[in-house]
């Protein structure tokens, strides 16, 4: 797999960081093509996948059919609004939950919550 730090990869990484919304590949593509209209969707998808594989971005999972990416690499969790689909960071310690999951034999990496956000409530 190609691990070079290309201009396209840097543009895509910067887009996730600048958008700061737990962006989807489509959102990153739309953002990057404003200034670089020749970049392809395939390039965006491939580079997002590679950035997540190398730990430079987090693939925080699929919500409502789209994978979301996070530039925030510190340990945290996510809340997804069932109404608007926005993803929010949750900085809290869930040591008891992780302990129970480990006891049950699970290797949990991230805890996610769903519900209705304050804006939609």
Residue 86's domain is classified under what CATH number?
3.30.1490.190
Q: Are 43 and 8 in contact (CB under 8 A)?
A: yes
Task: Report the C-alpha gap between 26 and 45 in whole angstroms.
Answer: 9
Residue 65 covered by a domain: yes
> 85 with 107, same domain?
yes
Question: 96 lies in which domain range?
Answer: 77-115
Q: Which of 12, 107, 11, 121 is nearest to 69 (CA)?
A: 12
Helix (H) or strand (E) holding 69: strand 66-70
| CATH label of the domain that carries residue 53 | 1.10.10.10
> 26 with 62, same domain?
yes
- Which pLDDT score, from 0 to 100, does residue 93 have? 84
Position 4 confidence tier, pLDDT thresholds 50, 70, 90:
low
Q: Are 9 and 43 in contact (CB under 8 A)?
A: no
CB atoms inside a 10 Å sphere around CB 6:
13
For the cut 80, the answer to whether the pLDDT of residue 108 exceeds it is no
Instruction: Tally the domains of the chain.
Output: 2
- The sheet with strand 112-115 has its strands ordered as 87-90, 77-81, 112-115
Residue 2 covered by a domain: no
For the cut 60, the answer to whether the pLDDT of residue 3 exceeds it is no
What pLDDT digit, counting tens, does each position of 44-79 carry? 999 999 999 999 999 998 888 899 999 999 888 899
> 109 with 90, same domain?
yes
What's the pTM? Answer: 0.82
| Residue where the block lists tokens 């996510």 | 78
What pLDDT digit, counting tens, does each position of 12-42 carry? 999 999 999 999 999 999 999 999 999 999 9
Residue 120 covered by a domain: no
56: its two tokens: 């430079």
């Amino acid at each position: 797999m190609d691990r070079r730090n290309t201009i396209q990869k840097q543009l895509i990484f910067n887009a996730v960081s600048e958008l700061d919304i737990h962006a989807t590949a489509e959102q990153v593509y739309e953002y990057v093509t404003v200034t670089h209209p020749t970049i392809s969707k395939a390039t965006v998808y491939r580079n997002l996948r590679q950035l997540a594989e190398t730990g430079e971005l987090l693939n925080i999972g699929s919500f409502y059919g789209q994978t979301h990416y996070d530039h925030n690499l510190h340990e945290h969790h996510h809340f997804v609004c069932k109404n608007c689909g926005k993803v929010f960071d949750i900085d809290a310690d869930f040591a008891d939950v992780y302990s129970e999951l480990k006891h049950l034999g699970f290797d949990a990496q991230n805890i996610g919550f769903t519900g209705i956000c304050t804006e939609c409530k």
